[in-house]
Amino acid sequence: FILFNSGAYPTTKDKAAKNAAISGTNAIFAAIRSKDKAALKTAYDAYIASNDISSLPAVDADKGQGYSSD
């Protein structure tokens, strides 16, 4: 999370978004420390949504180069 925050928001114009991401990270770590699974799920889901993070698209070797294809 910390590496994502520093890499996704590197410029000063992204300061508000970076501060929001850091707050989200702090909420995740606070939930981990308190061992609250519900709070962790809520904080994680909020972090993913607010930082517009999505999973990687499926790779189809028949429609393009897949991983480790020459």
20-50 per-position pLDDT tens digit: 999 999 999 999 999 999 999 999 999 999 9
Q: Is the pLDDT of residue 10 over 90?
A: no
- Predicted structure pTM score: 0.74
User: If we measure between CA atoms, which residue out of 46, 54, 49 comes closest to residue 24?
Assistant: 46
Place of tokens 């609250």: 36
Look at the alpha carbons of 39, 45, 51, 57 in this order and tell me if their dihedral is positive or negative: positive
pLDDT at 18: 92
pLDDT at 66: 57
User: If we measure between CA atoms, which residue out of 33, 26, 68, 63 comes closest to residue 47?
Assistant: 26
Cβ count near 9 (within 10 Å): 19
Can you tell me the mean pLDDT for 3-22? 90
The answer to whether the beta carbons of residues 43 and 21 sit under 8 Å apart is: no
